[in-house]
Chains A and B, each alone.
Chain A
Amino acid sequence: MTDLLSKFDPLIEQRRALLDTGLTDPFSLVMEKVHSPTLATCNGRETILLGTYNYMGMTFDDDVIAAGKKAYDDFGAGTTGSRVLNGTFFHHRDVEAALREFYAMDHAMVFSTGYQANLGIISTIAGKGDYVILDIDSHASIYDGCKMGDAEIVAFRHNDVDALEKRLKRLPADAGKLVVLEGVYSMLGDVAPLKEMIRVSKAAGAMVLVDEAHSMGFIGENGRGVAEDQGCIDDVDFIIGTFSKSVGTVGGFCVSNHPKFEIMRLVCRPYVFTAALPPSVMASSAASIRKLMHGGNKRAHLWENSKILHAGLRDLGFRLGTQTPQSAIIAVIMPDLEKGAMMWEALLHEGLYVNLARPPATPAGMTLLRCSLCAEHSAEQVTQILGMFETAGKKIGII
């Protein structure tokens, strides 16, 4: 018998070697208790959370929790069915209405996760003979959406407008084309030049999909994302987003002004052949989205946090993923995986949780400590965080 799992032996060996050094496993952390959007107990120690996607701190919002509890009482624990059969309750429609209000768009469709939203929309709208043109650093859900569909996939260098334009010009003029972009790229926290990219895409007759997962609620005047911030949201055909970041719950969505968009509900397999989210999650999400529309002050505080942390880490001598703070994600570049894991553990001992990210999730084979800020981090916490980075960085010998 061929052991089908033997293909993972190199990874098993790499993990064993790392853990044999006595390091804590960075990929099996358990939060024993969560006290607030920014504080949890991990390994019996109070820990500041700097590695969640809880950008706007909505997980503990009173109105968000109250809406979920009421729906729990009124509608029960789950839907036990697909959105197109018995799985659409009042709250599923209401959260789609909230999304239409939030984005000022005509159509909204809610999926069970953001991953499924990308998987479903990309694989469904780009078919045989069509082309998907994507940034090489695209999220796994975008790649998997491509893999699941029958279109030809063309990649271009990260955030390179010329490389995109050149490739678009080489494609058959009459072929269907979908350009897939992200507002914020989550590994380095850098922002895409969407305005230029959308301009060249439209000139080539392509439709454009933008994943705004890491910008919703925070970037843009109304928190609609990078496309809003750069004044090109009206030229985006499909926006993909998630509830598991700024919204603070779970779920994914696509919003669009396309007049035929509603047909997606019948032809998109990751929408049809999975269970609809529980009503409590939908009610909490709707309450959160409507609150995010008026989150101007929180957005301003989050930007302050991002600027202070970025400048502070740079001044301490850390190498960062971006020259300037561009989003709520600040990536600290580690020399290698071993040093990265040691630094990660040292920070955890200081009482700070960050994300350890490594290839293949990261670009250019980098090991990163990704810090994602929350609007609920106080100025004191940000100062504390910088102190922890200084202590840990000196201990490991990175600064």
Chain B
Amino acid sequence: MPDRNETYARLTGLIEPFNKKDIELSEATTFVGDLEWDSLTVMDFVAEVEDEFDIIISMNLQAEIENVGQLADAVLKLVD
């Protein structure tokens, strides 16, 4: 089982280049609400995460992920 803290750190690292408004990140930071990402940014970011962890995050699953903490949990589950 990969370490959650490490996964979370890798994810926040991936978020940074897309975090144009320098929003302070936490588990509860939402992608659409707080980071104000449009669907194109979401798509680019998802592709980055998929390649970084060598996983697939289907659009069905994306629809259930709203914040950074949920993404970390989902990625952990997929990597496992």
A154 to B56, CA, bound (A): 7
Q: For the complex, is B39 an interface residue (Cβ under 8 Å from A)? A: yes
User: Is B47 in the interface zone, CB < 8 Å from A?
Assistant: yes
B50 within 8 Å of A by Cβ?
yes
CB–CB B59/A163 < 8 A:
no
**Chain B positions 48-80 with a Cβ under 8 Å from a chain A Cβ:** 50-51, 54-56, 58-61
Chain B interface size, under 10 / 10 to 19 / 20 to 34 / 35 or more: 10 to 19
| B3 beta carbon closer than 8 Å to chain A | no
Query: A152–B51 contact, CB under 8 A?
Result: no
If the complex has contacts A157-B47, A364-B40, are A170 and B60 also in contact, measured as CB distance less than 8 A?
Answer: no
Q: Which residues of chain B are within 8 angstroms of A364 by Cβ–Cβ distance?
A: 40
B51 lies within 8 A of A166 (CB): yes
Which residues of B are found within 8 Å of A166, using beta-carbon distances? 50-51
Cβ of B43 under 8 Å from chain A: yes
Number of A-B contacts (CB under 8 A): 33
Report the contact-size class of chain A (Cβ under 8 Å from the partner): 10 to 19
| A153 CB within 8 Å of chain B | yes
A153 touches B60 (CB 8 A): yes
A339 CB, nearest partner CB in chain B, Å = 20
Q: CB within 8 Å of B: which of A153-178?
A: 153-157, 163, 166-167, 170-171
CB distance from B39 to the nearest CB of A (A): 7
- Inter-subunit contact B55/A365 (CB<8 Å): no
| B38 at interface by CB-CB < 8 Å | yes
B43, B59, B60 interface centre (most CB from chain A within 10 Å): B59
Of the residues B40, B47, B61, contact of A365 by C-beta under 8 Å: B40
Q: Contacts A163-B47, A166-B51 hold; do A171 and B40 have CB atoms under 8 A apart? A: no
Q: How far is the CA of A155 from the CA of B46 in the complex (A)?
A: 10
- Please report the C-alpha to C-alpha distance between residue A156 and residue B46 in the assembled complex, in whole angstroms: 10
Establish whether residues A152 and B47, one from each chain, have CB atoms under 8 Å apart when the complex forms.
Answer: no
CB distance from B45 to the nearest CB of A (A): 12
15 new A-B contacts, CB < 8 A, other than A155-B46, A157-B47, A170-B56, are: A131-B58, A146-B59, A152-B60, A152-B61, A153-B59, A154-B58, A154-B59, A155-B43, A155-B59, A156-B47, A166-B51, A167-B56, A170-B54, A170-B55, A365-B38
B residues in contact (CB < 8 Å) with A = 38-40, 43, 46-47, 50-51, 54-56, 58-61
Q: Mark A residues whose CB is within 8 Å of B.
A: 131, 136, 146, 152-157, 163, 166-167, 170-171, 360, 363-365
* The 8 residue pairs across chains A and B that have the minimum distance between CB atoms: A153-B59, A152-B58, A170-B56, A154-B58, A154-B56, A152-B60, A153-B58, A136-B43
